[in-house]
Structure 1
């Protein structure tokens, strides 16, 4: 049985799980509130990349995405 092809139309299926994992990591390591952690994720370029199937970021694990978010945050300051 072949796995379904991941396209821009269905990549959204992976995003909530990834956001939940990364948000949990932010809360645990940075002691942010749930609201602040979610805002950090949703307002990032990393999240935009996660929504874009072509970047293949959806394929990466939560740790990789979290580290990318930390790098983005560091580069902004």
Structure 2
């Protein structure tokens, strides 16, 4: 059975991806994990990831992180 990702269930995928991004950002920038989480949640990338129709939620962590680094 294959579940379809919709705007209503997308929230189930985001915490794991946000966790990866924040941890890598914290390490790369030498900032606290809390600050890294704030930066991710306030980024344009997060807006794209949290909109099901953009399909950004489908990208892997490395691609997402590269996009985040380019944005910041």
Answer yes or no: same fold by TM over 0.5.
Answer: yes
Q: What pairs with 1:1-77 in structure 2 (closer than 5 Å)?
A: 2-73=1-72
RMSD between aligned residues:
0.9
| TM-score of the pair, normalised by structure 2 | 0.93
Deviations 1:31-71 (A, max 9, x none): 11112101110110100111000111111111111111111
Give the number of the structure whose alpha-carbon radius of gyration is greater.
Answer: 1
Structure 1 moving runs of 4+ over 6 Å: none
Unaligned runs of 5+ in 2: none
By how many angstroms is 1:11 displaced? 0.8
For 2:46 and 2:69, the matched residues in 1 are separated by: 12
